[in-house]
Each structure stands twice: as C-alpha cells, then as structure tokens.
A and B are shown apart, each in its own frame.
Chain A
Amino acid sequence: MTLPTPSAAASLEVTDEIGSIPDSSSNPKGSESRSPGRLAWKRFKRDRTGVISAYIVIFFFAISICAPLIAKLYGKNPYEQYGQEKDGLLNDFAFPVKPNGGIDSNFWFGIEPQLGRDVFTFLLYGIRTSLMIATAATLLTTVVGVVIGITAGYLGGRTDYFVGRVIDILLSFPSTLFFIAFMPVVYGLFIPFSDEVPTWLRATSLILVLSAFGWASIARLLRGQVLGLREREFVEAAKVTGASSRRIVFKELLPNLWTPILIQSTLMLPAYVTAEAGLAFLGVGIKDPTPDWGVMIQRGAGFYADDITFMIFPGVSMVIFVLAFNLLGDSVRDALDPKSKR
C-alpha cells in the first residue's frame, strides 16, 4: 500500500491550455456559444467507459449512504453473530454449513466463518466507513494542498523555498511506517489507558494523518501551475489595476486551476480507499467490531483455502470500486482536457 501520489506527470500537461479553452478550436462544432464546462460535459457523456464508471461510483456512494436503511429492510445488522446464535449455520469447525460460504435467502452474501456475522450488512457498513474516511481525507487534502500550493507559487521567494522543502520532506517520508509507529502514541495521549479508543478518534486520526501526508503532491503540482500563470498578461493586468493578492489568487488564478484540482482529487479518493483498507489490514486503522472494508479483506485472507466466498465479496467489490473510480478520474481528465488524450 502506498499513500496517494497520483500521476503528477499526466496532469502537468493540462494547464497551459486551460486559459485558452474558450477560444479553442479543438471542437469546432461547439465553439461559438458553449462554456468550457458544457463542452467538457458533452465530451464526458460520449465516453462510455466514463459513464459506466460514474454509475458504478454513484452506486457505491448510494449504498453506503443508505446502508442503515438497506440493513433495516434486509432485517440484519453487522454486529450480531447470527452463525453462533442459531444452530445449523456453522459446522463444528465454525465454517458455514451451506456451500459457497453459507449463501442462502437469509444471508445473501453468506456468513462469516468463526464469528458468524452477516457478510452482506458487514460489507455495506464497511464500504460506508471506508468511503466516509476516504472522502473526508480527500476533501481535506485538496483544500490544504490548494491553499498551500497556490500561496507558495504566487508569493514565491522565501515562502516558496520553505514550503518546497517541507513538501520534499513529506514526499520522502515513509508515511505508512510512521503511521504504524505513531498511532498508538497518539491514542495514548488522548485516551486514558483503561478506556477503549473511540471509533470517532480512530477515524479522525486516520483522516488527519492521511491528509497530512497527502497534500504535498497536489500542492507541488499547483505551485508549478501558478508559477507559469502568474507571469501571464491577465495577472499582470490585474496587478496594474490594483487588485489585491487575495483577489488575484481567488479570482484570477484559481478558476484556471480547477481542472488539475478535479483530476487530482478524483484520482486521490480511490488511493485513499486502498490506503485506509491497508492500514486497517495492518491493524492500525479502524478496529473490529466497527465494520471496515480493509478489516474484512484481512479476515477473508485467513480463510481463502476453505471459504473463498468470504474473501471474494469484499475483495471483488473493492477492485470494482477502485477500478471504476480510477477510470472515472481518467475520463474526467479526458473530458476537461482533450489534448492529453492521445
């Protein structure tokens, strides 16, 4: 597992063209009256992979938001150990009695060996936890990265130098190792020994730490963009007319940077989902009994020989989600910046 450093090189090409998209001749048909946003949307709709991926991603978000509702309709929850409370579900070795991991009309995705929980609701809630953490971390990373990147690029000089070195350090830091070593210490600082570390603290620390190591790449990228943009005529013009730095950053520069920001963050989210799962797998992220995608995959890995069904559901669903989201990110980039497509 690595923390996200999405392919910066690909998006670097993006920027110079952005300012000129309105009078771009790349799409002669729509050049007269359509805004760049509409153009991009049109291009995106034509991209079948992108649309399917978008549906898949929306589906995942929808089920994770509606998880409690679905669980209620389905009549089970992810905490109850059904397999052990009802006879005839787990055999003497604590494996599901029925074939294919115990799938039947009651347990759509089967039941967990040993602990006997319902796989379907556990997976739903696990996706929910993972997506919540990944989304929050992505938002935070983007905001921090954008602010620092643009500031450094625009101000230049000493600020730029200083921020540049901080970014260097962060990018070269073994963040996963740091996380494994450091998290117990953090918990120890905030929570007295005899208390359980609450799930909200685990989630918050995960979000904070993922963001703390994640903003550097997006900031560096934006700094580069801004360095190019700030010498352009329209910025000069704004300066001459007496615009404040703040106005220049937010009104002149930022609108020109939405494309790389959007692309970066859509690529970052799936990376965070896998990073979070990885940390949970290593035992430093979210902890059982809180359902989590990564925890589930870790459990499944223990049973692959005798009950592969239990590993297939979380594993395959994660592959589908991450793949779809990555393809979606690619499509978004293609739509916003058709020139990067070969």
Chain B
Amino acid sequence: MSFSRRNFLIATGVAAGASTVLSACSSGNAGGSGSNKAPSVDKAAAATIAVGTKADSTGPAPEVEGAVKGGTIYTLDQIDCDHLDPAQLYSSYEGAVSVPFLRGLTGYKVDAKGKVTLVGDLATDAGTMTDGGKTWAFTLKDNVKWQDGADVTIEDVRWTFERLFAKFVTQGPRYPQSWLIGGDKYKGPYEGKHLDSIEISGNTVTFRLKEGHSDFNFMLAMRGFSLVPKKHDTKEKYDKQPFSCGPYKIESRSIGKSMTLVRNTHWVADTDPIRNAYPDKFEMQFGFELQASTDRYIADAGNDQYTVSMFNEVAPTRMQQVLGNATLKKRVLTQVDTTCYYYAINTKRVPDVKVRQALNYAWPSKQAQQIRGGSSSSAIATTIISPLTPGHQDFDLYGKKTKPTGDPEKAKALLKEAGKVGQKVVIAFQQSDTAVKTAVAIKTALTKAGFDVVTKQVDKTSFYSQIGQLDNEYDLFAAGWGPDWPAGYAVIQPCFDSSQIADGGVNWPQLRNTGVDKAIAAATVEADPKKAAKMWGDLDRQIMELAAVVPDYNPIRNWMYGSKIGGIQYDAGNTCIAMTKLYRKA
C-alpha cells in the first residue's frame, strides 16, 4: 500500500462517476461499450486542509447523522499491520487502522460534510508557532487517560519524541530527527539523557527547530507521532501491542490473522474532537485477497453486512461487475488519491542513466492499468508529484501518454548506446493476484526492449521493510508514495535527498545527486509558497531526467462495504475511510 498520506482535501467528481450500466448476460458476454466515466485524477482540483481553531479542537466529535451506538463492526483485509509501534508506523494502511487506539498531539477532524481540518487531538489546539516556525508550542488537554486509567502526562509527550531517536527505530517517518536542534547527535532517552530542544513546563511542550517549518503541526498529525507511555514502553516489543489512549484498546491479536478492538473505558469523549466511537467492538480479519473480499461484499451475507475494508478495494476482476451495477455501486466509496505509485530504480545497482531511461521508455503503463481494472482504477502517472499536490507540473519525458503501451524500439536503441543489451533487472513486487499478472505484462514488455527480466513476488506485509534495506538484491521495486502533508517537500525530500539514504529509509532509489540535493535545499528554505511550488515541480522534472523512478499510476480507490454499515466517510488527512465515524445500522 502506499506509504504515507497527509494530503489535500480532494475535490472529486465522485458522484458524477456514474458508469454505464453494463449488463452481463448469461451467455458470458463480457461486452459493453466500456465508456465508464471514472473520476479523473487530472481534473480533480486540489484544496488545502485548513488549520482548525481551539474550538474545533474541543471534543466531543460532531455526531454523524442517524448514527447508533453499539454492536460489532468487522473488517476484511489482505494484510495485517507490519508495525503498530507509532515510531515504526508509516504506511497509510497501518495509519488508518491505528486511529481508534493511537492519539497524537494533532490530528485530522472530518465533519459531517466530509470537510477535513487539522485540529489538536491530545493538544488543546493545533499548536502555536513563533520565531518564523522555529519554535512550536503545544498544550496537553486535561483529563486524557491511558487504557489503565493513568493520566497522559507531558512527560509521556517528551518521551514519545525522544524515543524516536533510539537505535531500534528504523521504519517510521524521520522528520523530527533532522528538524530538531541537536537531533543529529542524540541517541534516545534510554540512557537517561533528554534532548534539549524539546522543553516541557507545566502542561506545555515546546519544540525548537533548526529551520522554520510552518507546517510542523501538519507533520505531527502523522500517525507515526502518536503518544507512547513512558511507563509501558517496552522498546522493540511495543510494536506488537501498543498502549491505547483512544476510544478502543487492543484486546487480542493473532498476527497475520485477526485483531480485536474493544472499548477503552477510560477514554473521555469530551476530550476527543475526532473520534465518535459508535460500535462496541471491532473484529479485524486479515488474509483475504481482494477477490475474496469483493465477492463477500457482493453476496452481503451474515456478518459481512457489517463489514468494511481499510485496505482491500474492489478486485480488478470484479470492477466491471460492481461499478456496472447500480445497486452494488451504491456500496462503493470512490476516491481519488494523492499517492503516486512508482517503480523505484535502485541507482546503486543500475548506475547507468541510459538504462534507467530505457526502462522508462519500455514501460507497459497501459497494460498495467488494464490489469488493475482500467481507467476507473487508476490514471497513468508521468510525474512524481501527483496532479493533486501543489507543485505538480504536467510533463511527460518518456512518452507514456503518447505511447502508453511502451516504446521498445527507443528503449532498445538506448540500451545499445549504453552497451547494455541483455541487462538483467530484478523486479520486486508486492505479492498479490494483480501483482502476479502485472509481472507478466512487465516482463513481456521489457524483454521486447532487450532486458533480461527476473520477477520476484515479495510478501506484502514486510515489503517496505525489505526494500528499505540498503543492500537489497532488487533493481526495481513497486513502491508508492503519498505526501505526508500537502507540499512538494513531503513528496521529494524524504524520497530523493541523499541525506535520507539509510537502512529503513525511504530514499528507495538511493539517489545521490548533488544537483538534486542543492535544489532540494533551495526549495526547502523558499518562503514564498508559489515560488516553492514551482521549484518542487522543477525538481520533479530534474529527477525524472535522471530516471530514478518509473512513474506508474495515481490510484483511484474503490472501497466496497457491507449494506448495514453507516457513517462511511473519507478521511482525506489519513487518505482512508474514517474508521471512528462508522456505525452499525440497526
């Protein structure tokens, strides 16, 4: 699944996406005009997420109309969470699942109309900025409690951020590590030392940053900065069963199979502007392929009526059946997403830029799109910054839109020029039915262009952990990146700045280019948002000229759910279904 998430509130033509009703007749006729009007990524306008006031940050969360309390809600997903320790948690799916039991200083509030605002979650408001964004202060709310009834203290807040520096933390977002003063030398709180740039006094915590970051509060809303109690911190072991301060706590967990969330009786609704917590219980089930879950939603029997998926979308093989049927389509939430899925090219293993460009030319973008279910599933991407993110520039360096099925001749010519005909490329996929088919299409297309292709299906749960290792044995990997908050910075800096090359880091291409580094530094300090956006767009082009990645697609999500689930809302902040707004219809 896509890494990460903070993105714009996305205005889409979801309701307008009525597809032609295709009737599949018993003779097996799969025909139909295929003139499905899917929401278009290109035309979706980007709107920023507003910062809420103190009043917005005060609980309880706005009621969902017609919601009823009680009962159990089920989930049906392909994978379990690889990490639940906030410090290690980065993928948007893990983030989505963690909303009911993890709380951070700030968070995203979804109102009845689906509008998203950044508010204080455990903090009384979305933070106070002084000194041009170099100093940020947050005040902790009163009466917020851990699942054992103990108060959440300001000590816990400091502990949460200090432990990010510990050695065992290798996976989560790394912004505080590089933004906080003294962060480069600090080794974590376990040896008894505190980081001086995090100050606490009374109920207030103050962060001191090296440079001004006016979006620091957006950064803190990432699920990875949820609080961890000092008293119950078990370091590495914390990953399996984190301590809750939200409306639910983890009752039991069988890794890879199921997880049960029950009410945390110590949670006070008045302190929480984000979570409604209608059902008594969540039964989360893992290990279901897309097709299995889609078929169960179509059948809509028994407990499946009370089921949603946080990860599983409509299976590509069922896309026509579901979106072509007006009744079934009612139970689908369609949403354009800011993520860009791309195949990162390991520049350490493929140092020749011509080979990387050849890969881009030869890429079977359209074939892969068809395998995902056609244009109602995704739009072919040509850039790294999604059309929904500020700074996006529309360019197509490798003719992906003019020759969507790939240009093997041109790729072959480039390979010949580089003297690398027959170059071996090992491609890692996130194992799934769709990935197996995509691998076939990619192999066929690249072989035509003169590559020797080896495809490897890697277990989805640990995929990002594996490709994050610097000495991995893959040349290309099917990754995805959504901005952590709406800015070019959040797309480019973590993934392409050479300072981010580290085990468990997300500079997957391991790109080390001084030109790019300099441009990133310049764009980071640019104060004028318009100019900065232009600079990020230019950087996008610069990186694409180096062909560090093969842009693949921008997703259009189609989540299906059971008929007796109410309160389905999209949380544009976490790019997922807002889990704590759901209720069980009587």
Instruction: Tell me whether A96 and B371 are in contact (CB under 8 A).
Output: no
- Neighbouring B residues of A96 by C-beta, 8 Å: 30-31
A248 contacts the other chain (CB 8 A): no
B321 contacts the other chain (CB 8 A): yes
CB contacts under 8 Å to A, within B414-462, are 424, 426, 433, 436-437, 439-441, 443-444, 453-455
Instruction: Tell me whether A114 and B473 are in contact (CB under 8 A).
Output: no
CB contacts under 8 Å to A, within B388-417, are 405
Instruction: Tell me whether B320 and A194 are in contact (CB under 8 A).
Output: no
Taking the closest CB of chain A, its distance from the CB of B268, in whole angstroms, is: 48
Instruction: Tell me whether B28 and A93 are in contact (CB under 8 A).
Output: no
Q: Which of B321, B371, B455 contacts A115 (CB 8 A)?
A: B371
- Neighbouring B residues of A85 by C-beta, 8 Å: 405
Instruction: Tell me whether B443 and A289 are in contact (CB under 8 A).
Output: yes
- Neighbouring B residues of A302 by C-beta, 8 Å: 291, 315, 317, 433
B145 contacts the other chain (CB 8 A): no
Instruction: Tell me whether B436 and A288 are in contact (CB under 8 A).
Output: yes
Instruction: Tell me whether A92 and B371 are in contact (CB under 8 A).
Output: no
Instruction: Tell me whether A84 and B367 are in contact (CB under 8 A).
Output: yes
With A194-B426, A196-B454 as given contacts, are A92 and B436 in contact (CB-CB < 8 Å)? Answer: no
CB contacts under 8 Å to B, within A59-106, are 79-81, 83-85, 90-102
A101 to B374 Cα, complex, angstroms: 17
A106 to B366 Cα, complex, angstroms: 22
With A113-B317, A303-B317 as given contacts, are A92 and B376 in contact (CB-CB < 8 Å)? Answer: yes
- Neighbouring B residues of A196 by C-beta, 8 Å: 453-455
Q: Which of A90, A194, A307 contacts B454 (CB 8 A)?
A: A194
Chain A binding surface, main DSSP class: loop
Taking the closest CB of chain B, its distance from the CB of A107, in whole angstroms, is: 13
A231 contacts the other chain (CB 8 A): no
A100 to B30 Cα, complex, angstroms: 7
A94 to B31 Cα, complex, angstroms: 10
Instruction: Tell me whether B373 and A93 are in contact (CB under 8 A).
Output: yes
A94 to B323 Cα, complex, angstroms: 13
Number of inter-chain CB pairs below 8 Å: 117
- Neighbouring B residues of A113 by C-beta, 8 Å: 30, 317
Q: A167-201, CB under 8 A of B: which get 1 and which 0?
A: 00000000000000000000000000111100000
Name B454's closest neighbour in chain A (CB-CB): A196
User: How many positions in chain A have a CB within 8 Å of any CB in the partner chain?
Assistant: 37
Instruction: Tell me whether A114 and B436 are in contact (CB under 8 A).
Output: no
A129 contacts the other chain (CB 8 A): no
Instruction: Tell me whether A95 and B444 are in contact (CB under 8 A).
Output: no
Q: B454-493, CB under 8 A of A: which get 1 and which 0?
A: 1100000000000000000100000000000000000000
Instruction: Tell me whether B444 and A289 are in contact (CB under 8 A).
Output: yes
Instruction: Tell me whether A309 and B366 are in contact (CB under 8 A).
Output: no
CB contacts under 8 Å to B, within A271-292, are 288-289
A307 to B320 Cα, complex, angstroms: 10
- Neighbouring B residues of A9 by C-beta, 8 Å: none
A312 contacts the other chain (CB 8 A): yes
With A81-B367, A90-B370, A115-B371 as given contacts, are A97 and B440 in contact (CB-CB < 8 Å)? Answer: no
B327 contacts the other chain (CB 8 A): no
With A92-B36, A93-B36, A95-B32 as given contacts, are A115 and B437 in contact (CB-CB < 8 Å)? Answer: yes
Taking the closest CB of chain A, its distance from the CB of B450, in whole angstroms, is: 16
A93 to B31 Cα, complex, angstroms: 10
A308 contacts the other chain (CB 8 A): yes
Instruction: Tell me whether A95 and B320 are in contact (CB under 8 A).
Output: yes
Instruction: Tell me whether B424 and A93 are in contact (CB under 8 A).
Output: no
Instruction: Tell me whether A306 and B473 are in contact (CB under 8 A).
Output: no
Instruction: Tell me whether A94 and B24 are in contact (CB under 8 A).
Output: no
CB contacts under 8 Å to B, within A191-223, are 193-196
Contact residues of A with B, CB < 8 Å?
A: 79-81, 83-85, 90-102, 113-116, 193-196, 288-289, 302-303, 305-309, 312
Give 22 CB contacts A-B under 8 Å: A81-B364, A81-B441, A84-B367, A84-B441, A90-B370, A91-B33, A92-B376, A93-B36, A93-B323, A95-B320, A96-B30, A102-B30, A114-B371, A115-B437, A115-B441, A195-B454, A196-B454, A302-B433, A306-B24, A306-B30, A307-B28, A309-B30
Give 7 nearest A-B pairs by CB, closest first.
Answer: A91-B34, A308-B28, A307-B30, A94-B370, A92-B34, A93-B320, A99-B29
